[in-house]
Amino acid sequence: MLRGVQIKSILYSVAILAGLGGAVALAAQATIDQDGLVYWSDGDSGRLPDGTKFRLHGVDAPETRSLKQIGGAECESERELGYIAKEKVLELTRDADIKVTRDYGPDRYDRLVVDLSVDGEDLAARLVAEGTHRVWDYDGGAPKPDWCASTRSKSRSGPLSP
């Protein structure tokens, strides 16, 4: 009889955990309350209105941090492109209906990796189409896009002739 009680207890626990998982999945697809704005620290990461740190899944934006900082831009043109990318994401999300459409869990920096939709359109795909961001398999270990490649190739070829 004791074994039957233990099995019943385990089944109740599994049912409760499954219900909690479903609630989390529904919450992840919730509309972001527009009373609180999404804060963008750069073109692909920031904070949700509840303070949760996040990173957009599947894309990379150029860095805006100083060339002297660890993890900063590799060249000055990357920083310039980074500010353009940040302005584009601000423009697309300002006064928009924003939803977290998928939650991939935390990354190595404890940011929530997410897909966002803006007025029903996938934000990452739109940013890539706009040309300010590049596709990047961030959590798959792909190398980070090289935002300085064109600058390096110009400097190697010498000064341009008029």
pLDDT digits (tens, 9 = 90+) for 61-111: 999 988 888 788 899 999 999 999 999 999 999 989 999 999 999 999 999
Three-state SS sequence of 40-81: ECCCCEEECCCCCEEEECCEECCCCCCCCCCCCCCCHHHHHH
User: What whole-number distance in Å separates Cα of residue 153 and Cα of residue 29?
Assistant: 43
Asked whether the predicted pLDDT for residue 161 surpasses 90, the reply is no
Asked whether the predicted pLDDT for residue 142 surpasses 70, the reply is yes
Asked whether the predicted pLDDT for residue 20 surpasses 50, the reply is no
Q: Which residue has the tokens 């190739």?
A: 153
Asked whether the predicted pLDDT for residue 21 surpasses 80, the reply is no
The residues near 107 (Cβ < 8 Å, ≥ 6 apart) are 55, 113, 138, 139
Helix, strand, coil shares of the chain, percent, nearest 5, are: 40, 20, 40
Asked whether the predicted pLDDT for residue 160 surpasses 50, the reply is no
- State the pLDDT at residue 154: 56
Give the type of residue at 118.
V
C-alpha dihedral sign at 130, 133, 135, 140: negative
- State the pLDDT at residue 2: 52
Contact 46, 64 (CB under 8 A): no
Contact 72, 88 (CB under 8 A): no
Read off the pLDDT of residues 23-63 as tens digits, 9 standing for 90 and up. Answer: 444 444 455 544 458 999 999 999 998 999 999 999 999 99
Q: How confident is the model at residue 130 (pLDDT cuts 50, 70, 90)?
A: very high
For residue 12, what are the CA distances in angstroms to 1, 20, 21, 23, 104? Answer: 17, 12, 14, 17, 27
Which CATH number is associated with domain 54-145?
Answer: 2.40.50.90
- State the pLDDT at residue 69: 81
User: What whole-number distance in Å separates Cα of residue 123 and Cα of residue 137?
Assistant: 16
Asked whether the predicted pLDDT for residue 10 surpasses 80, the reply is no
Q: How confident is the model at residue 14 (pLDDT cuts 50, 70, 90)?
A: very low
What is the end-to-end Cα distance of the chain in Å, rounded? 92
Kindly compute the dihedral angle of the four CA atoms of residues 9, 26, 124, 80, in this order, to the nearest 10 degrees.
-90
Asked whether the predicted pLDDT for residue 158 surpasses 60, the reply is no
